[in-house]
Structure 1
Amino acid sequence: MNKPVKARAREKVDLLVVNADELITLAGNNEKPRTKKQMQEIGIIRNGGMAVKDGTIVSVGKTSDITRNFKAEDVANANGKIVMPGFVDPHTHLVFAGSREEEFQLRIEGASYTENLKTGGDIMCTVRETRKASVEKLIDYGTETLDTMLEHGTTTVEAKSGYGLTVKDEIKMLEVMRRLNQLHSVDLAPTFLGANAIPPEFAYNPEDYVKSVTDEMIPEITKKRLAEFCDVSCEKGAFSLEQARRVLTAGKNHGLKPRLHADEMSQQGGAELAAGIGAISADHLLFASDEGIKAMAQKGVIATLLPAAAFSMMRGRYADARTMINIGVPVALGTDFNPSCWVENQQFVITLACHLMRMTPAEAITATTINAAHAIGRAKEIGSLEVGKKGDAIVLDVPSLKFLGYRFGVNLVDKVLKNGRIVFDREAVRSRVRLLEDDEV
């Protein structure tokens, strides 16, 4: 007589996410960033769920399989919602002081970026304020920004220096980033951008400033291990192609991975430089040449497109995302958060990418998750929901991925998971508000 088979005990984990209408995993071959049709293949599991233990995803699949094999005291019910990897923002200027609303007014009245720069506005206004600000103030400002980013679903952020433009002040900015990385749930990937602009004190001898960047700043910053990447603004009025090459080469020689602001305001050959020097990413690319785009595709350089920056410039021109995707350039999307483009929300970036660059919601999701993770060298840890990766995920209060870009102007985030912990819960926030309202009645 056969004995009844005893049911296997369920493994206890820290958190279960269950009943998602769509669990968007981005699982698969993620050794390289996704290109062409791969950007549409986002790995949807209907009625999906996942289990997280010790901050790491231990299982992903159908809810029935997850609940059969795992149990947890904390269970997030995503019924009627979608679950996807936390947004990765691969291009921000996170740390700064001051604001530039007067510049915004001037742009409305027709002033160009270059005209603002000539009048002492734009970047130099921020440089002056950031130099004056204390470390404590910059940490406070950065914390507020990261709080907002997290509430809108961003769990990892690339952060640039570039508003110090002296050895001391660039180090100050990067040390603020290091402290923010220790204090906040959002993870930071630090970038040295000492070659953001020529400071006023070097206006008549810019070559001396380039030498300061290559011979003083880069060695000191790498000695202190404050940055992973070296960036440069290769643009008319900033740094020439040859100057940019020297800065990025110096960074490479000291172990910093190259990336650059390229062809944003005019065609300068930035895309070609990115391909030639082996940059991990070239960003903006509104005026990139056909040859430059093809070279990036051949070399696998990621195009980090920043439609919110183009939107804020009010020029009516955007990067040609469709051509880039069609010829095989891996595309990522970022906010370009800075005092001239004050947006902390990757959901808004997806909206702009869909409406103004004709990217599909699936492509935009790929560009803000796994491809963005590749753009900051983190694709082995984040960017997809797969066993062994960090438990960084978001629950969005929409029934389908196609609502991203379609429904905009509100925060769609219901919950944010960081390292397997719920760090933002909209319903909990609303419940506290209701309690306060009841107390006042």
Structure 2
Amino acid sequence: MRVFTNARLATMDPALPGLGVVEHGMVAEQAGRIVYAGPVRALPADEVVDCAGRWITPGLIDCHTHLIYAGNRAAEFEARLDGASYEEIARQGGGILGTMSATRAASPAALEAAARHRLAPLLAEGVTTVEVKSGYGLAPEAEYKCLTVARALGDVADISPTFLGAHSVPPDMPRADYLRLVCEEMIPHVARHGLADAVDAFCETIAFSPEEIAQVFAAAAAHGLRVKLHADQLSNLHGAALAGRFNALSADHLEYTDEDGVRAMAQSGTVAVLLPGAFFTLRETRLPPIEALRRHGVRMAVSTDLNPGTSPLFSLLLAMNMAATQFRLTITECLLGVTRHAAAALGRADVGVLRQGAKCHLAIWDIEHPAELVYRMGFNPLYQRIWSVS
């Protein structure tokens, strides 16, 4: 048994108020699992780690990333600065479709090397669990390639792959044919070979309609896969309500979500994943309905949305700061948003919390108070990241 003692804990345990703080605490782990987290007590130990009064949180969770892609879209960033909109760039063959061409052409080895390079800054900030979406292949073999690369990253982090075949319609296939391919060939293959833990889709005027998303979600359910949704980012197509109807794990973005959508999410237990990096990069002005989400008791997660176009953000600590300053989340909401609530957005109960039975994913910090993790920008106070492969 290994014991981390002389520590202050932010356990995120729902049985405790707020962040679940234990001022004089310890964490004990055996075989990669937490066997005790709480006030200091005498336990037999093979190894004792003196944390010298440092804070321990669960390892952080980035629950919405598009980590696997080739190329970059710096030219589109410049075009947006010159006044082009996200929708205009997408309709001219840029955006997702621009990344598609580079991703299809890249070898698995090249995609993996690039993904590991992008993943490194997250790990250096104490991230131990990462959701990784496909969605830049938009063809069967290219999508499977991306998901296989995502699984390969499991030697350095706890990876949760998500199939995002319904990200956009590829230019080389009629819309109805591609949708049928996603539902009748790709989702069954992904489920059969265990390539992903969930299915995501992009519900927007430049992507897929609610009716089309419903077909994708029905296919996912038929093959035992949970669902997530890019919802109401640029317009209100009632994506949040659709996510609620299908008991989605999460609905993400949500800038245009209305009260009915929030109510549907509350009823289904769907987590709201807030993505301030995209809000910032696209210079949006319409805020997600934070007060309505609070009022209806919807859990809120915070993520980087790391992607090549609309959120080239490689810092979950900065994402928390953005969520606090732009969306007015509290310190507690931000920290729960990258731990326990982020875990819920992935359908996980074994990460994001310090309690018996959870994986021993820890972040040990050189800080005086957890608020420092949200308050600072461009400063990384991580002392040590503990990650268990079990």
Per-residue CA deviation, residues 60-110 of structure 1 (Å, 9 max, x unaligned), is 2234x2xx324444514242x321011111111111111111111111222
For residue 292 of structure 1, the aligned residue among 245, 261, 264 is: 261
Structure 1 residue runs of 5 or longer lacking an equivalent are 1-12, 30-37, 422-441
Partner of 2:37 in structure 1?
Answer: 60
Q: Normalising by structure 1, report the TM-score.
A: 0.85
Q: Distance in 2 between matches of 1:420 and 1:19?
A: 25
Partner of 2:334 in structure 1?
Answer: 364
Contact 2:248–2:268 (Cα < 8 Å) also in 1: no
Bigger mean CA deviation after superposition, 46-55 or 331-340 = 46-55
Partner of 2:376 in structure 1?
Answer: 407
Q: Distance in 2 between matches of 1:387 and 1:171?
A: 36
SS in 1 for 2:374: coil
Contact 1:95–1:161 (Cα < 8 Å) also in 2: yes
Q: Distance in 1 between matches of 2:189 and 2:234?
A: 31
Partner of 1:377 in structure 2?
Answer: 347
Partner of 2:26 in structure 1?
Answer: 49
Whichever residue aligns with residue 128 of structure 2, its letter is T
Q: Does 1:17 align with 2:11?
A: no
Q: Does 1:135 align with 2:91?
A: no
Contact 2:259–2:292 (Cα < 8 Å) also in 1: no
Structure 1 residues 78 and 141, CA gap change in structure 2 (3 angstroms):
farther
Per-residue CA deviation, residues 94-132 of structure 1 (Å, 9 max, x unaligned), is 111111111111112221101111222211111011000
Partner of 2:138 in structure 1?
Answer: 165
Bigger mean CA deviation after superposition, 70-79 or 129-138 = 70-79
Superposition map of 1:302-381 within 5 A? 302-340=271-309, 341-379=311-349, 381=350
Superposition map of 1:176-187 within 5 A? 176-181=149-154, 184-187=155-158
Contact 1:307–1:318 (Cα < 8 Å) also in 2: no
Superposition map of 1:93-172 within 5 A? 93-172=66-145
Whichever residue aligns with residue 160 of structure 2, its letter is A
Contact 1:56–1:420 (Cα < 8 Å) also in 2: no
Contact 1:241–1:273 (Cα < 8 Å) also in 2: yes
Q: Distance in 2 between matches of 1:148 and 1:72?
A: 32
Q: Distance in 1 between matches of 2:313 and 2:210?
A: 29
Contact 1:17–1:76 (Cα < 8 Å) also in 2: yes
For residue 162 of structure 2, the aligned residue among 191, 195, 198 is: 191
Q: Distance in 1 between matches of 2:50 and 2:37?
A: 14
Q: How many matched pairs?
A: 389
Contact 2:361–2:388 (Cα < 8 Å) also in 1: yes
Deviation of residue 186 (structure 1)?
A: 0.5
Bigger mean CA deviation after superposition, 130-139 or 207-216 = 207-216
Per-residue CA deviation, residues 273-318 of structure 1 (Å, 9 max, x unaligned), is 0111111111110101111111111221111111111111112333
Whichever residue aligns with residue 250 of structure 2, its letter is S
Structure 1 residues 420 and 168, CA gap change in structure 2 (3 angstroms):
closer
Contact 2:5–2:48 (Cα < 8 Å) also in 1: no
SS in 2 for 1:201: coil
Q: Distance in 2 between matches of 1:70 and 1:356?
A: 47
Partner of 1:75 in structure 2?
Answer: 49
Whichever residue aligns with residue 311 of structure 1, its letter is F
Q: Distance in 1 between matches of 2:389 and 2:153?
A: 20
SS in 2 for 1:405: helix
Q: Please, what is the CA RMSD of the aligned residues?
A: 1.7
The alignment-based identity, stated in percent, is 38
Partner of 1:231 in structure 2?
Answer: 200
Contact 1:49–1:61 (Cα < 8 Å) also in 2: yes
